[in-house]
Amino acid sequence: MTNEINLEKGVPVAVEPVPGSLEFWAAERRDDIAIVDGDRRLSYGDWNDLADALADAMSDAGLGKGSVVVVRLQIRHEWAIVAAACAKLGCEILGLNWRLTPSEVGYILRNSHAQALICDDERPDALLSTPEEFPLRLRVSFDSSVGGFLAWNDLVSRHARPRFSKEEAPLIIYTSGTTGFPKGVKVGKVAPRSSITELREYMQSVTQVRARTADEIVLITLPMHHGAGPATVRAALATGSLMVFLRRFDPEAVLALIDRERVTSWTAVPTMYKRLASLPDDVIARYDVSSLKMLGIGAEPTTPELKQWIVDHFGPILWESYGSTETGMICALMPAQQAIRPQSSGLPHRHVTIEIRDPDGQSLPAGTDGEVWVRTPVTITNYVNAAALGQDTLDDRGFFRTGDIGRLDTEGYVFITGRAKDMIISGGVNIYPAEIEAAICKHPAVQDAAVVGIPDIEFGEQVKAVVELKPGASLEKAALLSFVSPLLASYKRPKTVDIVDALPRNTMGKLLKRELRDPYWVGRERQV
């Protein structure tokens, strides 16, 4: 037991580390390595000392409970230090996409009422063109101390008294902003209709899907401005698992790290697995991946062919998850279920209810495609510093409109078939791009495909495919159209095909279809 001074009341109080917290592992396993990041190896004790020092500096700057700390970093271990420091002070941590422009950064700083910014930009001063506009108490940079930014090393090298966290730092994630301005979500906050017991049982259901132990070695390749990246860090810390960070995704580098560090667990998006699959067989065979016990996949629908490739190369260890920033995790498909329902995203977690509805909001029977509405114990009621959600997004029963198209089968398995906003209406017929993309991706030369609707005088919209080939592959457009012809009904077949070097994606690897679709609709009164 450690004596700590309560600064608010000025009296000594007895403090014990919360089990699973950084302070707990620093006391129990101080010299054990907790994090690997390139050549850097950080023990639990050093991690905790750095977090104490940073918390001290943040406190001196006037940050405390409820302060929003914006963190714009590559996939690097310092995220874990900042998250721990925020937990010690009760600050909220906001993961910010490193690809956002200064104007986009400025919008989020203002919208979130941020009080601190920590970044690893080469020119951090360029983020704040008019710093006076942003009332930040603290600005921290990793590589320079220009424009009012303090140097990271100066802050974490100070000697500081121990601090103890009571719970994890609240996490804020901003949506990608593919339509309109990005919107902030406080992740994991209990919904008004749910009890603490339901929240606890729901979280247990989510974590038990991929239960970890202290001997796990977790590879992290997902960014911290998406819910999955911070969730992986939190889960690893809770069980005392070793974390291995990879700052820039490279498929062969992933295999090399799995081999070198004996990685047991890795969660990635379909694009990352597709890039692994595009490596020559002799390159894949060069690395020992037998240490893997769990592979996770999510963020967008996955084709059965890709799932089968993963199982063939790594064994029956694939977990698939489906969720959203606004609702948390919704369902999971475990390895044993992959052979039973390979096209499914799995069964709902405990205390999760899913309804499939038509455009008028009426529930649809099993086996019928419609819009996916979800109620979970962490479904949001409003975005950060915004009004309550309207009935078109959150109904009176607490169901959230995900924007996905899908169906349920008679046993409750969830099948996600596309996005409502991606749907193409041609001659009055609804066409779902995901089905067409899956057919195109069956061609051995195709790495990935995006299908969008473009203007058509007669039918309103026509189907257009944009295709990315595997490295070194070649394919004629006519040959591809001929290949998919027997796989798709005539009205679903692409009318035109473009073959590009690379499809536009965000940092999570999700396709940015708007960038492909919008140029065709410029100047038109209607977008469908």
Q: Which of 352, 365, 438 is nearest to 408 (CA)?
A: 365
Whole-number Å distance between alpha carbons of 340 and 337 = 5
**For residue 528, what pLDDT is reported?**
44
As to burial, measured by CB atoms within 10 angstroms (0-12 exposed, 13-18 middle, 19+ buried), residue 485 is: exposed
CB 352 within 8 A of CB 202: yes
Report, as ranges of residue numbers, the positions in the chain whose pLDDT lies below 50: 1-14, 178-179, 525-528
**For residue 287, what pLDDT is reported?**
96
Whole-number Å distance between alpha carbons of 69 and 282 = 45
> What does 471-526 look like in DSSP terms, one character per residue?
TT----HHHHHHHHGGGS-GGGS-SEEEEES---B-TT--B-HHHHHGGGGTT-S-
Q: Which of 220, 186, 71, 83 is nearest to 139 (CA)?
A: 71
pTM of the model: 0.82
Neighbours of 528 (CB within 10 A): 11
Query: Tens of pLDDT along 412-447?
Result: 999 988 777 777 878 667 787 877 888 898 899 998
- Report all structural domains of the chain as residue ranges with CATH numbers, in order of start: 2-169 (3.40.50.980), 196-421 (3.40.50.12780), 423-521 (3.30.300.30)
Query: Tens of pLDDT along 40-94?
Result: 999 999 999 999 999 999 999 999 999 999 999 999 999 999 999 999 999 999 9
**For residue 359, what pLDDT is reported?**
85
**For residue 8, what pLDDT is reported?**
42
Neighbour order of strands in the sheet with 414-419: 353-357, 370-375, 400-408, 414-419
CB 464 within 8 A of CB 432: no
Query: Tens of pLDDT along 167-211?
Result: 999 999 998 654 467 889 999 888 888 888 888 899 888 887 666
CB 453 within 8 A of CB 469: no
**For residue 11, what pLDDT is reported?**
36
Q: Which of 62, 169, 185, 167 is nearest to 112 (CA)?
A: 185
Tokens at 200, concatenated: 């606890």
